[in-house]
Amino acid sequence: MRWAVETDLVDGALISRVLSSAVDLVLPLSCAGCSRPGPSICPSCRAELAGLALPQLGTVAPSPIPPGWPGCTGTLRYAGVSARLMKSFKDGGRRDLTGPLARLLADSVGRAVTAVPHMGLHQPILLVPIPSSPAAVRLRGDRPMLVLTRRVATILGPAVAVAPALSMAHGTADQAGLDRAGRQTNLRSAMRVRQVERVQGRDCVLVDDVLTSGATLSEGQRALQAAGARRVGMAVCMVTQRRSAALALPL
Ligand SMILES: [Zn+2]
pLDDT single digits (tens) 45-76:
999 999 999 887 788 998 888 989 999 999 99
Distance from the CA of 115 to the center of ligand 1, in angstroms? 33
pTM equals 0.82
pLDDT attached to residue 136? 80
DSSP code string of 69-103: ---EE-SEESSHHHHHHHHHHHHS--GGGHHHHHH
Q: Is 41 helix (H, G, I), strand (E, B) or coil?
A: coil
DSSP single-letter state for residue 214? S
Q: Higher model confidence: residue 224 or residue 57?
A: 224
Distances (CA, A) of 163 to 29, 113, 138, 238, 249: 33, 16, 21, 21, 28
Rounded Cα distance, 210 and 239, in Å: 5
Distance from the CA of 229 to the center of ligand 1, in angstroms? 41
Distance from the CA of 91 to the center of ligand 1, in angstroms? 18
Distance from the CA of 172 to the center of ligand 1, in angstroms? 34
CATH code: domain 12-239 is 3.40.50
Distance from the CA of 47 to the center of ligand 1, in angstroms? 9
pLDDT attached to residue 50? 93
Q: Is 177 exposed, middle or buried (0-12, 13-18, 19+ CB in 10 A)?
A: exposed
Domain positions in the chain: 12-239
pLDDT attached to residue 25? 52
pLDDT attached to residue 13? 62
Does the pLDDT of residue 7 top 50, yes or no?
A: no
Distance from the CA of 51 to the center of ligand 1, in angstroms? 14
Distance from the CA of 33 to the center of ligand 1, in angstroms? 4
State pLDDT tens for residues 33-51: 999 999 999 999 999 999 9
Distance from the CA of 43 to the center of ligand 1, in angstroms? 7
Per-chain mean pLDDT for the chain? 84
Does the pLDDT of residue 18 top 90, yes or no?
A: no
Gap between the terminal Cα atoms of the chain: 20
Distance from the CA of 161 to the center of ligand 1, in angstroms? 33
Distance from the CA of 102 to the center of ligand 1, in angstroms? 18
